[in-house]
Each structure stands twice: as C-alpha cells, then as structure tokens.
C-alpha cells in the first residue's frame, strides 16, 4: 500500500462555532471549511447559519460527516450545471 505524501494530506482542524445559540466544536479538513465558507458566501448567509441548517436537517451521523456531505453535494451540483 502506498501512503500519500505529507503534502497531499490536509490536517483535520477543530474549530468552535455557535449554532442555535450554543457553542460546539467541529473537526474537518481545511478544504471542507473552505467549501462551507463558499456555500455561505454564495447564499449570503453566515457560516454559523449554514452549519445550523445542516445540523437541524441531518437524519443521523455526526455533524462533521453531515457537513462534508453538504460540501460534496454542493460541488456535485455545480459540476452538473
């Protein structure tokens, strides 16, 4: 098995964010944080609002996974345009 080079691996970053009036921590790679910021900017919402929406509509799983899936969905939809 070939391991990726250290330059190819983005470290997971833990950030605190306020959603629904309470503070929580979310751990994701920088690329996903950047994707969420782009989603927020394009929809003229704050990062907290986007994360709160994902949090309130997820069926199961942890918040980090749900956020990654939201970013993936965003870019898949954009690629189909």
Instruction: Say whether pTM exceeds 0.95.
Output: no
Q: What are the structural domains of the chain? A: 15-80 (1.10.3990.20)
Backbone angles phi, psi at 41, to 5 degrees: -65, -45
Tell me: the pLDDT tens digits for 9-29? 678 999 999 998 999 999 999
For 22: left if phi > 0, alpha if psi spans -120 to 50, otherwise beta; the answer is: beta
Strand partners, 23: 18
pLDDT at site 26: 95
| Location of structure tokens 């199961």 | 60
Query: CA quadruple 25, 29, 35, 41: dihedral positive or negative?
Result: positive
Per-residue pLDDT at 44 exceeds 70: yes
Tell me: the pLDDT tens digits for 29-42? 999 999 999 999 99
């Amino acid at each position: 098995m070939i391991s990726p080079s250290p330059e190819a691996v983005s470290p997971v970053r833990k950030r605190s964010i306020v959603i629904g009036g309470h503070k929580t921590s979310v751990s994701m790679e920088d690329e996903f944080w950047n994707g969420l910021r782009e989603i927020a900017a394009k929809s003229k919402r704050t990062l907290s609002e986007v994360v709160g929406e994902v949090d309130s509509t997820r069926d199961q799983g942890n918040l980090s996974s749900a956020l990654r899936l939201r970013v993936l969905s965003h870019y898949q939809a954009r690629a189909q345009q």
